[in-house]
Each structure stands twice: as C-alpha cells, then as structure tokens.
A and B are shown apart, each in its own frame.
Chain A
Amino acid sequence: MRSSSLNFLLTVMLISLTLPLSLQARVAAYDFDTPQQEEAYQEMVSELRCLVCQNQNIADSNAELAQDLKRKTYEMVMDGKSKNEIADFMVQRYGDFVLYRPPVTSATLLLWSGPFIIFVIGIIFLIRVIKAKQRDSSDELTAEEKAKAEDLLK
C-alpha cells in the first residue's frame, strides 16, 4: 500500500516535471501578425518530421537542423505562403519522408493500409478462436464421455 501510493506520487511528480517542458517547447520564439499565421505555423511544424532524429516532428525537436527548418517555416508563413506551398517546399528538398502524413503512393500504400490489414486479420483470428471455444464447450457429450460418465455413476 505504502509503496504503491509512493509510486503514484512519484509518477505525478515526474509527469508534472515534463509538463512545463513540453509547454515551453510549444511556445514559439516567433511573433506573428495574426492568429491564423500562428496556427498555420504550429500546424506545419507539428506535421513536418525532423530529419535528424526521424521519430519527432520539428516542433518537438531541438536538433539544429530542426531549428533552421522551423525558421524557414516561419519565414514562409510570414511571406504569406500557404500550408501546401510550405509542404511542397519541404518535399522538393527532403522527399515525402519529411511529411508525417505522406501521400498515398505505391511506396507508401502498405504504410497506409497496413493497420487495416492487421485489423482484419485480427478480427478473423478472433472469430475463429471464439468459434473453436464454442465447439469445445458445447453440452453434447461424445460417446467416450458418455461411457466415462456412466462408468462413474455406477
């Protein structure tokens, strides 16, 4: 009991430690003229993948290249570029990889359809397991079981 409440307390403390950090990271060091610009900027930096760390978006990454890509994004937003234009700029240089949601092509088809394929396989498997269970637990006794039961009841 004591150790579990201690664990809980520690977890809460750890989480609260990380909160201000992630909030800090989200606050842009940039000034925007309109809320729309800030929104476009925030959306783009969270959709673009950091090429150095590769499992982070550039909003969360502190890699130097990510900082420069954020600056580029900011400059383009302030230039009045649309989100599509910014995405195109990045894709021209770094390929579809830079987008966290790449377009569906022959190369990314498996990426997009994979979860659904696995889901369907899972459902089929589940149905088969349930059906097998139902067969096992049916009330009908086999001839062998009947003989055994009768033997016991004698």
Chain B
Amino acid sequence: MNKAAIPLVIFLVMAGLFLFVLQKINKGEYDPKDIPTELIGQSVPDFNLANLLDADDRVMAADYKGKPWLLNVWGTWCAECWREHGYLVQLKNQGIPIVGINWRDDEAEARAFLRDQGNPFVEVGFDPKSDAVIDLGVYGAPETFLVDANGMITVKHKGAMHPKVWQEKFQAAFN
C-alpha cells in the first residue's frame, strides 16, 4: 500500500467511527453521559419527605407497598419535565399510581405548576436538598422508576416519559 495513503485511511476510519456514534446518540440509543444505575433489583430507598401539597403529611416509600407504582423525579426548572407532564397526566387517568419527587424547586412555583398543568401525582414529596434524590442515585431530571409490589426497583428511565418508553419498559408491570 502507498505510504502516503495511511493518514487518509486513519482519518476515514475515525470519521466513520464518529459518524456511527453520533447517529446512535441522535437516535437516542446511546448517551455518553449515562451512568449505569446501581439500584435495579434493590429495594426502593426509604425516603421520608414533606408533602408539597399538604403541610401535615409526609410522603414515604413505605406507604406504597403491595402494588406496583411509579416514582418520578421532576422540577419546574427542567424543560423535559414540562414535555413529559401531559403524558404523565394521561397515565394517571389510566389509573397508574405515580409518586412525584419535586427536586430542588421553589415551593410556590411547583404548586402553581401542578395547579396550571394538572397534577398526575398521588402524592408529591418536596426535596429541596436532594436528600431522597441522592439516595435514589439520581443526577438529572426527569427520571422515572418502576417499583414492584415487593418494593423493588425493577426499571429506571432517564429522560422524559413518552408512549414508546412506556410500552417498552413499564406497561407490562401494570397489566
């Protein structure tokens, strides 16, 4: 082979590799910032948070034992949370119990958001200092966990919930 062609071949191989990875990222099949979760197959952390909508109540994981439920971490500062909100309301109307964790948010803004956009949550825990969020290994919002009837986390989805993700990862648990 001509020696002068070697840099060109290396360049083409690299360019091809970058293009391949870029397409995977664009299709949502690969996220370089994704961190594999440690919590699949473990019991849901025993969080105990103030109730955003009821000052006299606490929101506790222990209250939801016995049936599968969703745990959704969100905040009004998070654009993807606005995007998924309508679909969460739809899921709620289908009878899916969703517990919300409002993360590092302004209390009044979070309440106003739920009042204006509809409230898909059975209860919303208020987590301004990331207490429950750190226990859940969450580092971005939104994130949705599926907790089974035994209190085990079986699925975690990072990013907005939408019909395709719901059907692929979550729906079977509620049939």
Contacts and interface: CB of A to CB of B under 8 A. Distances in A.
B140 A52 contact: yes
B27 interface: no
Interface in A85-126: 91-95, 97
A97 B134 CA distance: 15
Contacts of A91: 38
A93 B136 contact: yes
- Interface residues on chain A, size class: 10 to 19
A94 B38 contact: yes
Interface SS of chain B? loop
B99 to A, nearest CB: 19
A38 to B, nearest CB: 22
B66 interface: no
Contacts of B139: 51-52, 65, 94
Task: Sort A-B residue pairs by CB-CB distance and give the 10 closest, nearest first.
Answer: A51-B139, A68-B130, A93-B137, A97-B35, A95-B38, A94-B137, A64-B104, A65-B139, A68-B129, A95-B36
16 contacts: A51-B35, A64-B104, A65-B134, A65-B139, A68-B104, A68-B129, A69-B130, A69-B134, A72-B134, A93-B38, A93-B39, A93-B135, A94-B35, A94-B137, A95-B38, A97-B35
Interface of B: 33, 35-39, 104, 129-130, 133-137, 139-140
